[in-house]
Amino acid sequence: MSGRLEGKVAVITGGASGIGAATASKMVAEGAYVILGDIQQEAGDSMAASLGPTASFQICDVTRENDVQALVETAVRRHGKLDIMFNNAGIVGAIGPMESTPAEEWKLTLDILLNGVFYGMKHASRVMKKAGSGSIISMSSVAGVTGGLAPHAYCAAKHAVVGLTRNLAAEVGPYGVRANCVAPYSVATPMVAQAYLGDHTDMDKTVRMLADESPLKGRPGLADDVANAVLWLASDESGYTSGLTLTVDAGITTGSVAGAPRFSEYRPMQREAGKMGLDA
């Protein structure tokens, strides 16, 4: 299928790499005009160039409201509208136990993962409410719906994105605007390669590692898996969906684990302590 986003205008933060870049690629292939924002000038320029004339790059640090606002303004100035806002930029941020998490690292992590999303929601919703349509998609994580999977600041920010998405959906729904978020488990991107292997370029090893640890036999999480979910939320196919946290996680948050599940073999049921089977 192609043309699912024909003529739509999208802004993607963190679009120079990983999930943002994969999403940009799919959106362009489906007929959208895409404006990428990122702090990486060179990678952003070359990503936009590789996507062709319907994509462009603009430097944007999501911790600066003016930068995020400027991305939205570029979309409106150039194309007269903004249909899709993907608040995606992120880092792993502060790592370690609570008692040794430096306050400065905590604040910067939240500045990128939460405040950056807030700025995107703020300026996109302003434009979309006026237009009476639009889809705002933000990046949460499995760490946004359960504990124990990521560092504290990351977990806090991603939980906040889930809450903010729900609240925003309630506000903008009456104006014809939708707000949703995605919550992926580990997928192979430079961020994950750096966090797990200490080398953001080693994608092959990252993919192999994720395949080995996957609850879906041999199936690693890929940036394209998340991009496909975002594409659906961006398109009119999801037109009746708002406030959703869409997990893309091989079942991790619903109890799936790597390897054989417990209780997978038949045994007579336990009737009461020490007694098995149906006979008294």
* Residues designated as active site: 154
Of 8, 25, 11, the C-alpha closest to 62 is 11
Options 12, 36, 82, 89; binder of ligand NAD; rule CB under 6 A = 89
- If the CB atoms of residues 95 and 131 are measured against ligand NAD, the closer one turns out to be 95
Question: Is 187 an interacting residue with respect to ligand NAD (CB under 6 A)?
Answer: yes
Least separation, in Å, of the C-beta of 169 and ligand NAD?
19
d(CA 256, CA 246) in angstroms, rounded, equals: 16
SS3 259: coil
Total residues in contact with ligand NAD, by rule CB under 6 A: 28
Scanning residues 136 to 175, which ones bind ligand NAD (CB under 6 A)? 139, 141
Measure the N-to-C terminal CA separation of the chain; round to a whole number of Å.
60
275-276 vs 270-272, strand pairing mode: antiparallel
What is the smallest separation between the CB atom of 106 and ligand NAD, expressed in angstroms?
15
**Cβ-count burial of 66 within 10 angstroms (0-12 exposed, 13-18 middle, 19+ buried)?**
exposed
CB of 163 to ligand NAD, least distance (A): 16
Does residue number 220 form part of the binding site for ligand NAD (CB under 6 A)?
Answer: no
User: What residues does 12 pair with on adjacent strands?
Assistant: 36, 86
Q: Which of residues 15-54 bind ligand NAD (CB under 6 A)?
A: 16-20, 38-40
| Helix (H/G/I), strand (E/B), else coil: 41 | helix
120 interacts with ligand NAD by CB under 6 A = no
Question: Distance of alpha carbon 42 from its chain centroid, rounded?
Answer: 23
Give the CA radius of gyration of the chain: 21
Smallest gap from Cβ 271 to ligand NAD, in A, equals 44
> In the complex, what is the shortest distance from the CB of residue 113 to ligand NAD, in angstroms, rounded to a whole number?
6
For ligand NAD, which is the closer residue by CB, 62 or 153?
A: 62
| Rounded Cα gap, residues 15 and 87, in angstroms | 10
By CB under 6 A, name the binding residues for ligand NAD.
Answer: 13-14, 16-20, 38-40, 60-63, 88-91, 112, 139, 141, 184, 186-187, 189-192
